[in-house]
Amino acid sequence: MTTRTFSTHDELENSLIVHFRPVPAAADLIRRTLDGLRDDFRPERFAERVQVEATERGISMLSPDGQARPPASQASKRLAAKAREELFEYLEGRRSFFSVPVDFSGMPAFQRKVLERTYRIPFGETRSYARIAQEIGNPRAVRAVGTALGRNPIPIIVPCHRVLRSDGGLGGYGLGLPMKTRLLGLERSTPVLEGCATTGIVCRVGCPDAMRMREDSRVVFASVDDARSVGYRPCKVCRPSDATLS
């Protein structure tokens, strides 16, 4: 072991300051490493293993654990592949809506009513179980609404994660409460609308036209009215409107 000597008090003091100086980069690396150990969720892995089933009308099943029946046609095969692609973009925070249609036709009448109403809850917003029950005309059926949502065969695309208890609690979720928390957090941090400064067009995040925008041309908007107020016009491809976003 080598012993270092110091000729002056100032030299010793400066050496100690350098030695004990905080290292933010290293601390940040440790924090990120610990976060990674606590949370190993990877959107690409989830999207790859998820099973998607579709009819020619739309998506009929999405499950990370179940088995999907073989597609009945090329149209249903394309829909399933498109749903998986959009799911990955959504989980990456690059999409605020799903363009693939949903097929509710094989569901029991009550569940279909619940899920059709849930399907219309806007991205980034939430509703209570009680409110869903009221909106389908069965205000006393709060528990039945929860059961119907718990058996949702098309989670995420039919966003039952946006339904909470009246007191703000999470309630239940078929994919687990950690996943419900993740999805709600994702939607709080993902913008709904973005405009292109060069074309003057506003799109929903995830629109093919929006994905072609240059990064330095992107402008985030809270509503279509806000975009219109500064001269932007709605995209004719994804057709954003305040009616569908509220």
List the one residue out of 22, 43, 55, 63 whose CA is nearest residue 152: 63
Residue of 160, 196, 207, 235 with catalytic role: 160
Characterize the bridge pairing of strands 193-196 and 218-221.
antiparallel
Q: How many residues does the chain have?
A: 246
DSSP 150-181: HT-SSBTTB-GGGEE-TTS-----TT-HHHHH
* Residue 160 bears catalytic tag: yes
CB contact set of 231 (below 8 Å; sequence gap of 6+): 200
Let me know: does 58 contact 80? Beta carbons within 8 Å: no
Instruction: Please tell me the distance from the alpha carbon of residue 87 to that of residue 109, in angstroms, as a whole number.
Output: 27
Backbone angles phi, psi at 177, to 5 degrees: -65, -35
Q: Which residues contact 210 (CB under 8 A, 6 or more apart)?
A: 194, 196, 203, 204, 235, 238
Residues recognised as catalytic:
160
